[in-house]
Every structure is written in structure tokens, then in C-alpha cells.
Amino acid sequence: MARVMVVSFARAADWPAVAGLYGNIQEVLGLPAPAISVSGEAGYALWLALAEPQPVAQLQVFLAGLKRVFLADVPEQFLGFHPDAAKITPAPLPLQHPLTGRWSAFIDPGMGSMFVEESGLEMAPNPLRQAEMLAGIKCMTTADFQRALTTLTAEKVPACVSGGDVPAAPGGGFPDPASFLMAVMNDPAVSMENRIRAAASLLAHTGAARHGS
């Protein structure tokens, strides 16, 4: 069972495909907007969160459907999917790449095209800003997941939207970054490393709030 799916793109030049998938997940499948991250080396990743854990086999069928329906033009060797048969866990974010020195991080979807020429951030991202972006991500319900899975496995799928500019993301499921960080800290399905990062970010957030009051 798992609650997160990730589609990774190894080439920065595939941003139009990233933007297209981001739009199709919302427009064609009717799902909440996924989170987008940029790599410290090259490329991007889309992160889809589920409200409840789902069988890994079903998640893999869902990801295979995304590839077949929306990513047929991207060479397979430049795509990655989680969960996969190899059971490789995505690296936690943010993370500094050891060779380029640039940072992987979650980004505003409207900024994606800025990283086509040079991927990653020059400096470590602000943890509160990262929390704010993740707090705005809604989890897909089990009913929505099953409906989208049925759509992806059908013989005919509704028309796709083209890549390019990404649509605006709707509001999230948490009222503020502190609420999101608390949820991460208390979620036993989250890795201990990410729970510790959430705790550190929450301490920084509460400290800044006290200082400003």
C-alpha cells in the first residue's frame, strides 16, 4: 500500500510534457493539481498524493496509464515512476546535488519553464515557502482515484490538453503551513527523515511568528 505516486522526467527540455501532464491530470482526469519539483541535476517530477493508501499494483496500473495516454512522445528511458517494481524510494526534498551544487525543490507550477536551460535552485529553498506550496496540494480521494483509473484503462480517453503554460492550481486542503507540517509530523506513513524536516520547519515557522508578534 502507498499514498504517493511520482512521475519523474530526466530532461529539462521535456517541460512541455510536464506541463501537459499537469494539465491533463486536472482537465481530463478531474483530479487535484499535483505538486511539481525541479531536479538539482536536470528535469522535473510530478507528485500525486492520495487521501488513503492504495494497493501498489493499482498505483502501477494508474502510472502505466498516464504513460500510455499522455506521455507516449517521451522516450521511456527519460521517464521514471514510483512506486515501481524496483521499489526505489524518491529522494527527499529539498536536496543539494553533489555534482552541480544546485538544489532540488518543489516549485510554483508557473515557474517551471524558467528551469529549462539550467535546472535546480542556486540556493537552498525557504522551508516555509516549501511548506506553503505543499499545504496547497489536495489529496485525491479513493473514489476519484478509482474513477481516474477506469478512465486511463478505457480504450478511448477524452481529448488531451497540449503542453506549455500550466493551469492555475486550486486552493489546498490545509488552512496554513503549520497545519500541513503538523500533519506530516504525525503521519506514520511518512519517512522519519521527512518528519524530522517537518518538525524543524515548524519550529522555524513558530519562532518567526513569535518574533513578528
Tell me the pTM: 0.75
Per-residue model confidence (pLDDT) at position 169: 47
- Please check whether residue 187 lies inside any domain of the structure: no
Domain encompassing residue 17: 2-173
Reported as a single tens digit per residue, the pLDDT across 187-198 is 655 556 666 666
Domain with residue 153: its CATH number is 3.30.70
- Please check whether residue 190 lies inside any domain of the structure: no
Domain count, the chain: 1
CB 181 within 8 A of CB 127: no
Q: Which of 126, 144, 163 is nearest to 48 (CA)?
A: 144
pLDDT at 61 over 60: yes
C-alpha–C-alpha distance, residues 98 and 18, integer Å: 25
- Please check whether residue 33 lies inside any domain of the structure: yes
Grid coordinates given for 69 = 495516454
Cell 546535488 appears where? 97
Alpha helices in the chain (DSSP H): 15-27, 56-70, 127-135, 142-152, 177-185, 192-212
Per-residue model confidence (pLDDT) at position 170: 45
DSSP state of 92: P
Determine the longest span between alpha carbons in the chain, in angstroms.
Answer: 58
Reported as a single tens digit per residue, the pLDDT across 112-139 is 988 988 889 999 998 888 888 888 889 9
User: Judging by DSSP bridges, how do beta strands 35-38 and 103-107 pair with one another?
Assistant: antiparallel
Per-residue model confidence (pLDDT) at position 107: 92
CB 74 within 8 A of CB 14: yes
Per-residue model confidence (pLDDT) at position 114: 87
- Please check whether residue 201 lies inside any domain of the structure: no
C-alpha–C-alpha distance, residues 36 and 110, integer Å: 10
Higher local confidence (pLDDT), 135 or 212 = 135
- Please check whether residue 178 lies inside any domain of the structure: no
- Please check whether residue 9 lies inside any domain of the structure: yes
C-alpha–C-alpha distance, residues 61 and 76, integer Å: 16
Residue 149 has φ and ψ, to the nearest 5°, of -65, -40
Per-residue model confidence (pLDDT) at position 21: 97
Cell 496509464 appears where? 65
- The chain-wide mean pLDDT, for the chain, equals 83
